[in-house]
Chains A and B, each alone.
Chain A
């Protein structure tokens, strides 16, 4: 089985711009979740999608949003980028929920200048 893929792998954006990150889960996995990882805050849960519905959301501002398509692929969008949004964004998929083993993609390294 192919693993979780994320595109792009690296991205440089300017403050105020918006960005869309993409994630393709493992075939058959219905739950897709997103995380932000920074040296200062560690790994923080952004949101989880299941069957095209956002099932859970972490404590992030409304500038962070996402969606899931019928084929389980997911996108994450960050609008009005701030310097503090520079981070590694990780996507993970699992069979059913966060209570199952999470399979992580390699991440998208976002740098905001």
Chain B
């Protein structure tokens, strides 16, 4: 399989806590994107980080990229019930294909 790997597979935290999920990939990339999927809104783009960037912020989201370790992390601060969803990373490789991770299922407990 060409999929990237995400960990943890599932994460359950209390509302208000921070959530961190990780993504590792196998080949060199042009960029890495994070998406969220829930039953209500489908698959939604969160943030894109290019291979020459190390960190990016968007609201309560912080993404880091370490190309030497071929890994990325997504941090969601001050979690809310609405953050309950599956989170996927997708990497654009040198062949301009988008390779997806298996996803992290995040549950926010009230």
Residues in A lying within 8 Å of B, measured CB to CB: 33, 35, 41-45, 48, 55-56, 58-59, 90, 92, 97-107
**What is the size, in residues, of chain B's interface with A at 8 Å between Cβ atoms?**
24
Q: Is the pair B45, A103 in contact by a Cβ cutoff of 8 Å?
A: yes
Of the candidates B45, B48, B95, the one whose C-beta lies within 8 Å of that of A56 is B95
Chain A-chain B contacts (Cβ-Cβ < 8 Å), number = 53
Interface SS of B by simple majority = strand
Q: Is the pair B44, A104 in contact by a Cβ cutoff of 8 Å?
A: yes
Residues of A close to B35: CB separation below 8 A: 102, 104
Complex alpha-carbon distance, A3 and B92, angstroms: 23
Residues of A close to B99: CB separation below 8 A: 45
Residues of A close to B33: CB separation below 8 A: 101-102
> Can you name 5 A-B residue pairings with CB atoms under 8 Å?
A48-B96, A98-B98, A101-B45, A102-B33, A104-B44
